[in-house]
């Protein structure tokens, strides 16, 4: 069976739903761990702690790992975008709600589609996809205008940081597709990102003096869960799923992640979920479906 050709079954659907749930829970974990660790320090420590397990796993699985194939410059650039992405994301939850962060952060596919329109000749946006961008843009506007779901007057700062993080995430995807990184294994690309961010961000947080805040065993346990199940298990499972299931299937299940983010924000943090927020979620999800729509040949 060729890659990306396996039909989705109950087992595969369960894996993808669980994976979406883990990724949706991530922003809640970040917000809770921010109590004990400064955002930049938390990103650096998570990358540092995840690097070695992923390296060992890749070596045991005989994955091709090389920095001499010409991918190093773009790998370091991807590491820079990865560092910026998670610094922005982890800082965003300090200002606004997890639900709002989830909606803004998972606009990433639209930024990928927009970038691909200019960078990849065969992926110009058609009228349907442009309409999808407009639909999602209106959903984003609704979130911005929904004062009832804003946890404080500075929520707009976190909202903007979340969108900037989504743009950085899109830049990683576009670099991976349009440069020498396209010949790298996913594991090598992830190691570039984790290694660079660990070194740079730990150095920056140490120099700035923003490292540990009010750390306790509960926060340490939540951070360990984040490293093992998000940075290691979820990322590697996502790469495996990309190699097994069709990309359209992956896109469809990706819609569940912001839904889980909104749900966990309400369940764990008692965040306010308004009708406007739910309507925006529907519009953004609908736009994501349409922007990834491809007519059957």
Q: What is the pLDDT of residues 127-153, one digit of tens each?
A: 888 888 898 899 999 998 899 899 999
Position 129 scores a pLDDT of: 82
Is the pLDDT at 247 greater than 70? The verdict is no
Position 5 scores a pLDDT of: 45
Angle, CA 162 vertex, CA 38 and CA 213 arms, to 5° = 10
Report the chain's mean pLDDT, rounded to a whole number.
88
pLDDT grade for 1, boundaries at 50, 70 and 90: very low
Angstrom distances, CA of residue 223 to CA of 11, 28, 47, 93, 189:
28, 11, 12, 16, 23
Is the pLDDT at 223 greater than 70? The verdict is yes
Q: What is the pLDDT of residues 29-51, one digit of tens each?
A: 999 999 999 999 999 999 999 99
| Residue 223 near residue 42 (C-beta atoms within 8 A) | yes
CB atoms within 10 A of CB 207: 8
pLDDT grade for 119, boundaries at 50, 70 and 90: confident
| Residue 190 near residue 82 (C-beta atoms within 8 A) | no
Position 4 scores a pLDDT of: 46
Is the pLDDT at 7 greater than 70? The verdict is no
* Average pLDDT estimate for 263-285: 93
Higher pLDDT pick, 101 / 133: 101
DSSP string across 195-253: HHHHHHHHHHHHHHT--B-S--HHHHHHHHHIIIIIIIIIHHHHHHHHHHS-HHHHHHH
Position 142 scores a pLDDT of: 92
DSSP string across the chain: --TT-PPP-HHHHHHHHHHHHHHHHHHHHHHHHTTTB-HHHHHHHHHHHHHHHHHHHHHHTT----SSSS-HHHHHHHHHHHHHHHHHHHHHTTTS-HHHHHHHHTTHHHHHHHHHHHH-GGG---HHHHHHHHHHHHHHHHHHH-GGG-SSTTHHHHHHHHHHHHHHHHHHHHHHHHSGGGGS-HHHHHHHHHHHHHHHHHHHHHHHT--B-S--HHHHHHHHHIIIIIIIIIHHHHHHHHHHS-HHHHHHHHTHHHHHHHHHHHHHH-----HHHHHHHHHHHHHHHHHT-----
Residue 286: exposure state from Cβ atoms within 10 A (0-12, 13-18, ≥19): middle
- Ordered by start, the domain boundaries in the chain are 10-291
pLDDT grade for 295, boundaries at 50, 70 and 90: very low
Identity of the highest mean pLDDT range in 45-49, 209-213, 286-290: 45-49
Model pTM? Answer: 0.89
70: left (phi over 0), alpha (psi -120 to 50) or beta: left
Higher pLDDT pick, 251 / 297: 251
């Amino acid at each position: 069976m060729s890659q990306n050709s396996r039909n989705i079954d109950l087992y595969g659907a369960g894996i993808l739903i669980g994976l979406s749930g883990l990724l949706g829970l991530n922003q809640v974990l970040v917000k809770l761990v921010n109590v004990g660790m400064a955002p930049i320090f938390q990103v650096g420590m998570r990358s540092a702690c995840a690097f070695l397990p992923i390296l060992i796993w890749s070596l045991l699985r005989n994955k091709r790992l090389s920095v001499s194939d010409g991918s190093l410059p773009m790998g370091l650039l991807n590491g820079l975008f990865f560092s910026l992405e998670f610094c922005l994301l982890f800082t965003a939850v300090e200002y606004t709600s997890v639900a709002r962060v989830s909606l803004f952060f998972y606009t990433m596919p639209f930024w990928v589609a927009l970038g691909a329109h200019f960078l990849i000749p065969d992926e110009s946006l058609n009228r349907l996809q442009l309409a999808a961008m407009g639909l999602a843009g209106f959903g984003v506007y609704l979130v911005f205008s929904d004062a009832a779901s804003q946890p404080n007057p500075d929520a707009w700062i976190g909202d903007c940081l979340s969108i900037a993080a989504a743009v950085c995430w899109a830049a990683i995807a576009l670099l991976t597709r349009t440069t020498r990184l396209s010949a790298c294994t996913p594991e090598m690309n992830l190691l570039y990102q984790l290694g660079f961010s660990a070194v740079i961000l730990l150095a920056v947080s140490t120099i700035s003096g923003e490292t540990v805040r009010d750390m306790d065993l509960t926060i340490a346990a939540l951070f360990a869960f984040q490293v093992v199940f998000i940075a290691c298990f979820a990322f590697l499972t996502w790469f495996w799923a990309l190699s097994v299931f069709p990309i359209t299937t992956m896109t469809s299940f990706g819609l569940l992640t912001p839904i889980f983010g909104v749900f966990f924000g309400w369940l764990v943090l008692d965040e306010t979920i308004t009708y406007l927020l739910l309507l925006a979620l529907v519009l953004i999800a609908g736009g994501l479906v349409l922007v990834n729509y491809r007519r059957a040949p």
